[in-house]
A and B are shown apart, each in its own frame.
Chain A
Amino acid sequence: MADEIKVRMTDVHKSFGKKVVLDGVTLDVKKGESLVIIGGSGTGKSVTIKCIQGLLTPDSGSIQIDGREIVGLPSREMEKINAQTGMLFQGAALFDSLNIWENVAFGLIQGKKMNRAQAKEIAVKKLAQVGLNADVATLYPDELSGGMKKRVGLARAIASDPELIFFDEPTTGLDPIMSDVINDLIRSCVKDLGATGITITHDMSSVRKIADKVAMLYKGKIIWHGRVDEIDRSGNPYVEQFINGRADGPIQMEIRG
């Protein structure tokens, strides 16, 4: 089990018009592993996970989940695969028109056709798991703070006990303490479920807390991939510049997008 590959990306290319975003991404994620993809803004981190989720279709290359090719899969089949994945969005992306427990239970009710009473029970349980009590369940998303929204988003991502969970910049916009709380929650949720986690972030404290493995994306390519405890002696000038947050080095920030 330890060496089974959950997600395998092989030479994935994706461009928008003339702008090349992914230029041959090759990446393996093992089952039960927590991979963090780091990289500056606009280096294609979000596009990478959107391709794995089937929200975007790569121009060329192959993506396999559990050994099954997902590029070019019809939407009906993709829905089935997505039923075993969860995602925490950067802005939480809670549905404004539904209350908190309906948000958390959404995948159970719509995706898995569970009845509402049963789904609510699970939703409340998942909310407790992320440290929210049952009073919150009947509130609406706009009544919550940013940190609470993130927690609800996390509860929704884990509601259907997914095997693969994506985290899109989970700590962006949160204070350092709340960031640490969210990092801990992500860590424990992924471990409890025995799920595979793929996180994209540029927050180094997050990386050190969540990651088993780290991959660095630069100009549409994976330029470094290794265990998190090796990151400080990677010997890669790009990685060193990034993790130390230096303005000068091989990575030149493009001022004009």
Chain B
Amino acid sequence: MNIFAPVGRVFLNFLRSVGRLTLFTMKSVSYCVRPPFYFRTLFSQMVEIGFYSLPVVALTTMFSGMVIALQSYSGLSTLSSEGVVASVVELTVTRELGPVLAALMVAGRVGAAMAAELGTMRVTEQIDALATLSTNPFKYLVVPRIVAGVIMLPVLVLIGDVIGIYGGYLICVYKLDFNAINFLRNTWNFMQAVDIVSGMTKAAVFGFIVTLMGCYNGFYSKGGAEGVGKATTNAVVASSILILISNYLLTELFFSR
């Protein structure tokens, strides 16, 4: 038998999915700037992504800030450089943990929900129904979700930054007996604009990835309940991987000299 046939098939399938995803992405982006715009759905998606993800994001960043304070203290106290703890907390939270953890949480919460919702709409023919009611499904379903993700994730991260640093503050002041004023002064003095800007840029990119993956997998799901389940899993797995990879690339872009 021809051993190249299965290899070729896998490769061609791979190319086909990459091509389809690329087309989907380009279509979505190009529809983002062309009317009509659906502000009602945009608003409700912004509330869903921004407001309802707040508790999860707040909890994760809070505890991450606390853990970093504890860990960096136990590591750095041997070097008698406790003052560095504040800046370590500030750096890790704003540059890395804030955006990455918030995006992963949103991927699990919102990306999965989007894939499930659009997937169900696909298998029950609701997406076809949109087209027959002369509404472009891309503009009505995909664009508001992507735009809401790109706008709201940076906002979430900004709030997460504050809460994460507050978590570090709580541990340092109430558990490790740091001077509160010194902690805040160290944090403030050490903070640079690039920390916040890079974190929020990352967040916007992650917001794009999460919503795009959710919409793409839902939009092309097939095969009933099982297909929707698969689409949901794929959306979360794919967006998590892409978040981690693009996080590295963005860090390289911002901070390597």
Contacts and interface: CB of A to CB of B under 8 A. Distances in A.
B124 interface: yes
A109 B214 CA distance: 27
Nearest to A97: B117
Given A90-B125, A93-B125, A95-B126, A80 B134 contact: yes
Contacts of A50: 128
Interface in A34-80: 50, 53-55, 75, 79-80
Which of B121, B125, B132, B135 has the most chain A CB within a 10 Å cutoff?
B132
A91 interface: yes
Contacts of B38: 110
B233 interface: no
Interface stretch (A81-89, A218-226, A238-246): A81-89
B133 interface: yes
A111 B126 CA distance: 16
Contacts of A101: none
Contact of A87 (B124, B132, B136, B140): B132
A111 B128 contact: no
Given A89-B125, A91-B125, A110-B140, A55 B131 contact: yes
Contacts of B173: none
Interface residues of B, number: 15
Interface in B27-45: 38
Contact of B134 (A93, A107, A156, A166): A107
Contact of B133 (A54, A80, A106): A106
B129 interface: yes
Nearest to B129: A93
Nearest to A80: B134
B134 A83 contact: yes
Nearest to B34: A76
A75 B139 CA distance: 12
Nearest to A113: B36
Given A55-B131, A110-B38, 4 more contacts: A53-B131, A82-B132, A83-B134, A95-B126
Interface of A: 50, 53-55, 75, 79-80, 82-83, 85-87, 89-91, 93-96, 106-107, 110-111, 156, 160, 166
